[in-house]
Structure 1
Amino acid sequence: MAGRFRSTLPRLVNSLTSDSLSTHRSTVHRSLLCNNFTDPQQSRNFSSASPSKEPKIKVPLAMFGGSGNYASALFIAAAKAKALEKVESELLDLIAATEKSPTFSQFMKDLAVPADTRVKAVTEICDQAKFSEVTKNFLVLLADNGRLRHVDTIAKRFSDLTMAHRGEIKAVVTTVIPLPAEEEKELKDTLQEILGKGKKVNLEQKIDPSILGGLVVEFGQKVFDMSIKTRAKQMERFLRDPINFDA
């Protein structure tokens, strides 16, 4: 899928430099957006706009802020279309494409690009990549509203929702060097015991030499900081405290 992006990037550049772009937005795009997504301010009430005969889709996690509203609206649309995994995969492909192409990345962030240009380029890319209608309509919405620069954050929050839907919990462990396989498995098993049955731990490793040693585990809403850096700071505070000899 990512390869399709690379083949469409020249077309994107042509779109950005073209002087003959349409000066109006497609009415087809408008009708598709209205059928699948609400205005960002109304995205929390997205499910209430569904016909009464359709099952009500519940978002598995409470999301806040603009990116949370967009991610929630996308989750509901993808769930209704029974395309959660497909949409998640397509968003990951898009993010990978922005990381590999500075031109594409700049295009996503540049607010000076006219909305018509953004919509046209994104539509062509989605068609070439054969994205689902849900993903295509959503990206066109972001392009039209000048929100493409937030797609990375929205995609991450959407992944949080799909993981919660599957009963998965992401744990991020930060170390100075990669954990050996045995230690990684031991940590994952420990976290799995904490969660209990019915949940699955997805362990993600991050490397940060600034913690000096030890590890930091972010798990759900909790942070277990066992880094040497934090212990050194605690020791420094202890040494700086005045000594009470009477005690």
Structure 2
Amino acid sequence: MKDKVKVPLVLFGGSGNYASAFYANFTVTLSCITFLFSSTDKRKCGIVTVNITAVLLAENGRLRFIESITKRFAELTMAHKGEVKAIVTTVVPLPPQEEKELKKTLHEIIGQGKKVNLEQKIDPSILGGITVEFDKKVFDLSIKTRAQQMERFFGEPVHLRNV
């Protein structure tokens, strides 16, 4: 039955593999007991599944990766629910209206049926502008990056013969 579970997102690396295996096992366990137990018993079974996973990680010397695996598992559950996490970095917090407009724009890019979860980060080192990360894409419209690009452009010699 485990091989019939479709993991909603492909994750790579050790933590991705463990998170995917945990997701598949968790899904199978919950689907097998759904018709047998009350919702309180289902929560208990979920806790037992988590504990068994922690024991397996410990036995395999992978417990030190639990934080990374947990984050990757959260990515899988968000993907299952049709949610996309977008990290927005600015120098100052976005005003509510701009946040709303950004969410609307991201929703149009990501597609219908998806919910955008916006996480704001403040980073004065970008000097201004904005960076947006989602679905392994990065849109960097920061002043820092633009200045670095101009520096590289003007730092290289211009050959008029080739123009």
1:75 matches 2:23:
yes
Q: Which amino acid in the other structure matches residue 12 of structure 2? A: F
Q: Deviations over 1:34-93 (max 9, x none)?
A: xxxxxxxxxxxx923xxxxxxx2111111222111110111011112338xxxxxxxxxx
SS at match of 1:81: helix
Q: Does 1:152 align with 2:107?
A: no
Question: What is the distance in 1 between the residues matched to 2:108 and 2:46?
Answer: 39
2:86·2:133 contact (CA, 8 Å) conserved in 1? Answer: yes
TM-score by length of 1: 0.56
Give unpaired runs (5+ residues) of structure 2: 32-44
* 1:63 and 2:11 matched: yes
Match of 1:47 in 2: 2
Contact 2:26 2:46 in 1 (8 A): no
Ranges in structure 1 where 5+ consecutive residues have no aligned partner? 1-45, 49-55, 84-129
Does residue 1:184 correspond to 2:132, yes or no? no
Give SS of 1:161's match. Answer: helix
Please show how residues 225-244 of structure 1 align to structure 2 within 5 Å. Answer: 225-244=140-159
What residue in structure 1 maps to residue 125 of structure 2? 210
Q: Does residue 222 of structure 1 match 2:137?
A: yes
Aligned residue pairs total: 149
Q: Give me the identity figure in percent.
A: 61
TM-aligned CA deviation for residue 190 of structure 1? 0.4
Aligned Cα root-mean-square deviation (Å): 2.0
What is the aligned partner in structure 1 of residue 47 from structure 2?
Answer: 132
What is residue 39 of structure 2 aligned with on the other side?
Answer: none
String of CA shifts for 1:191-247, please: whole Å, max 9, x gaps.
Answer: 011122111111111222221111111121211000111000011112212234453
CA contact (8 A) 2:85 2:134 kept: yes
Could you state the TM-score of these two structures normalised by the residue count of structure 2? 0.83
Tell me, in whole angstroms, the C-alpha distance in 2 between the residues paired with 1:213 and 1:63: 32
The separation in 2 between residues aligned to 1:79 and 1:131, in whole angstroms, is 9
